[in-house]
Structure 1
Amino acid sequence: MKLSKLEKYFFVDKVIYHSLDLALYNVSAVIDGKEFMITDEKGQRLKSHNFISLQKQLRNVKAKTQVMRHTSAYDEMVGGPSKSDNALEVPIGDNQLY
């Protein structure tokens, strides 16, 4: 879903900042129980190495909650049991540091 379309919703259930590898982040949003990856106007996923710049881009989105989500592959790498989902979600706020 394009960011311009997301900004037109009155409220979004949840904005999810995905913490990927080496301080790389991308964004998805949950609307009516469905999760959508957020893109720019060219259809490229919103992504950045600067988390604050992503928050700035999404400042006009009215989200009920915002979270940072991280999924790790290290559980299996250290000999732990295989898990279907080990995603960690931490609630965050927008401190308007931009």
Structure 2
Amino acid sequence: MKYYLSQLSPTQPIDQLTVLAHEMSLYLVKLSINGEEGILYAEDDRPMRFFNAMSIREAFSGFAVRESCMQHDTPYDEMIGNPQRPSSPVTLPFSIDTPY
């Protein structure tokens, strides 16, 4: 499923907001609303890219986000010749509230 920021309503709670952290300060957002998961897309129909955590917080200020986290999946083991780890991505707490 695709979500567009312009189509989301601040009155509709977001059950889960997951920040997908990639290398080089690139972040995508996965949302879960009413049991349906999907990636946040920009109006040009490409996944919406964020370049820092603060821009995600600003984009979702005013929205009711019940839970949020950040997932980071690192390719470093493969890059240095180690076998790929069978473990899932690292999941960390992520506060959607602005620190100021």
Q: State the TM-score, normalizing by the size of structure 1.
A: 0.78
> 2:58 maps to what in 1?
56
- Structure 1 residues 11-20 or 68-77, which shifts more? 68-77
CA contact (8 A) 1:7 1:62 kept: no
Q: Is the 8 A contact 2:60 2:96 kept in 1?
A: no
Tell whether the 8 Å contact from 2:17 to 2:67 is kept in structure 1 after alignment. Answer: yes
- Verify the 8 A CA contact 1:39 1:46 in the aligned structure 2: yes
> Which residue of 10, 31, 53 corresponds with 2:33?
31
Q: How far 1:82 moved relative to its partner? A: 4.2
CA change 1:37–1:9 in 2 (3 A) is farther
Q: Which runs of 5 or more structure 1 residues have no equivalent in the other structure?
A: none
Q: Report the CA distance between 1:70 and its aligned residue.
A: 0.6
Give the Cα–Cα distance (whole angstroms) in 1 for the partners of residues 62 and 44 of structure 2.
Answer: 19
Q: Which amino acid aligns with 2:82?
A: G
Runs of 4+ aligned structure 1 residues displaced above 3 Å come to 75-78
- The root-mean-square deviation of aligned C-alpha atoms, in Å, is 2.3
TM score, norm. by length of structure 2: 0.76
CA pair 34-74 structure 1, distance change in 2 beyond 3 A: farther
Structure-2 separation of matches of 1:9 and 1:89? 27
User: Which of 66, 79, 82 matches 2:82?
Assistant: 79
Aligned letter for 2:15? D
Q: How many residues align?
A: 97
Distance 1:8 1:19 in 2: 24
What's the CA shift for 1:9? 5.3
